Structure 1
Amino acid sequence: MRAATLTTLGHPLTVHDVPDPRAGGGEVLVEVLATSVPPYANEVFSGERRYPIELPIIPGVGGVGRVVLAGPDATKLKAGDLVWCDSTVRARDDALTPDIALQGWSSRGEGGAQLARHLHDGAFAELMRVPTENAYPLPVTADPVRWSALTAYTIPYGGLLAGALEAGETVLVSGATGNLGSAAVAVALAMGAGRVVAPGRNRATLDLLADRFGARVAPVELTGDEDADRTALIAAAGGPIDLVLDLLPPQAPSTAARAAAMTVREYGRVVLMGGVGMLGGEDFALPYPWIMRNSVTVRGQWMYPRRANVGMIRLIASGALDLTAERITRFGLDRINEALAHAAANGGPFDRTVLVPKA
């Protein structure tokens, strides 16, 4: 098969012939039809984001494909099925705190690294093998290219599940003008949020969110003054903010994350999913008395539980979340390095760079 391989950090990917993967017990072999290229992919491949990856690697974070071969433990999947391949792989020998790796992308801790060595390669290839439980059936009418955006939507959906979002609640999405943040706005509304406060520095992007979603979105242009921004965010909510979901990138200052987090109401919830502090800089610090006296729940969430995949697929299949407005640019496998550059330059709301390996 043909695949794109990263051999050295900071160097272009190389497209060449490699042996076909062989699926063993508990695995499924999938023909990759489409995979989304994250806007920050070049930051990973250059080493800027300091992700733990072992080279050489065929990267790629999830994708839509067609089952070529299902293992003997698969009781429903069969050859020809259209599936979503979730990159979040969990070890099977610890139900309480399983080691986790993102197939073709990164890992967490030594256990995660061990898992990543077994399920090493991702979706920037014509074929990939995935654990049986990571292949989720899709509607037969699903457009693989559009549905490859599941990568961008399932992550914030996992954060909203972690924050126990309820219908009618007000959510503040910190980082709302980014690729994941804008997806979080759409998912929160699809889940029934009554109002979404969307802060950001880019006025044009804020206007785009308001135009697309209407009065349920309250855009707020940030100034960089922590106290002034917090006041503006609270005013825009028009009432208590029940949940804050932080998706700010590593380059964002901790003051922006704190300004958003401290808008939440008494007994409110704050979920941290972004990258603040990953590249150094001032630590994200919340006042102990404020957390304690207001009974605020603060929790981190890396990726999402398995059930998030099923829920996200249902939201899209039902029409509650509409993918028709996505702006899609497709690239064939031989143009992978062009695709990476395009994704980096076009990482705004609902912009999708999609790799189609057999185009």
Structure 2
Amino acid sequence: MELQAGETLLVSGATGNFGSAAIAIAMAMGAGRVLAAGRNAQALSELVHRFGQRLCPVHLTGDAEMDAAAMRQASPQRIDAVLDFLPPSAPASLARTALMAVRPYGRTVLMGGVGMLGGEDLALPYPWIMRNLITVSGQWMYSREIIPDCIALVRSGLLQLEHFALAEFAIEDINHAIDHASTHAGAFNLTVVRP
């Protein structure tokens, strides 16, 4: 996606593990504003509490027109980039609405699971994408090249790991680790098994 400092990023599916981590990284990279779009109002409120004024919550309803209006209203600046982390259970219309919120010459990266469980497929608005010179790319997880960049953000103090609660288990305690992960699921909760 190559997010630039000062840009406005819309994270769709922001209340899950991947979306919330993407917000933390975008803030560390100098995003001017991050729009956190999601359906869980309590999780959106927690994101605002963690990240402050540069984060603007957008509560999604599933109604394409209302959601599009909410996205436009949330950002006084144009949206430079969209990062989609919607789960397989989300309707494809939410991903399409987020994609179409980006400015001309904007970028959208699809990393979620819309359509993966055999549900509605994402119908992209071909003429609109072409006329507005939108870049749409798919990305499964992340590339290896990003790992040193994330480590550099942590070392510099820009990416603050205090946001994350870490529970560590020895490999011999793998069953306890699995139980812990299932009962403590959620954004910013990490379960790690050390060999």
- Structure 1 length as normaliser, TM-score? 0.52
Which letter maps to 1:225? D
Structure-2 separation of matches of 1:312 and 1:269: 21
SS in 1 for 2:163: coil
Q: Runs of at least 4 residues of structure 1 off by over 4 A?
A: none
342-351 or 206-215, which deviates more: 342-351
The answer to whether 1:323 aligns with 2:172 is no
2:11 to 168, 173, 184: 173
The answer to whether 1:298 aligns with 2:136 is yes
Asked whether the 8 Å contact 2:78–2:102 carries over to 1, the reply is yes
RMSD after superposition: 1.5
Structure-1 separation of matches of 2:45 and 2:33: 16
Q: What does residue 254 of structure 1 align with?
A: 92
1:221 to 53, 56, 59: 59
Looking at secondary structure, tell me which structure has more helix per residue: 2
Could you report, residue by residue, the CA deviation over 1:318-349 in whole angstroms, capped at 9, with x for unpaired residues? 10101123112233323323322432343322
Deviation at 1:263, TM superposition (A): 0.6
Structure-1 separation of matches of 2:101 and 2:184: 30
Q: What does residue 187 of structure 2 align with?
A: 349
Structure-2 separation of matches of 1:260 and 1:247: 11
Structure-2 separation of matches of 1:221 and 1:321: 25
* Correspondence 1:281-296 to 2 at 5 A: 281-296=119-134
Asked whether the 8 Å contact 1:220–1:236 carries over to 2, the reply is yes
- Structure 2 length as normaliser, TM-score? 0.94
Asked whether the 8 Å contact 1:330–1:356 carries over to 2, the reply is yes
Q: What does residue 40 of structure 2 align with?
A: 202
2:104 to 266, 271, 274: 266
SS in 1 for 2:94: helix
Could you report, residue by residue, the CA deviation over 1:150-205 in whole angstroms, capped at 9, with x for unpaired residues? xxxxxxxxxxxxx1211100000111100010000010111110000001111111
Please list every run of 5 or more consecutive structure 1 residues that lacks an aligned counterpart in the other structure.
Answer: 1-162
Structure-2 separation of matches of 1:246 and 1:292: 20
Structure-2 separation of matches of 1:354 and 1:233: 35
SS in 2 for 1:278: coil
Greater radius of gyration (CA) = 1
* Correspondence 1:42-191 to 2 at 5 A: 163-191=1-29
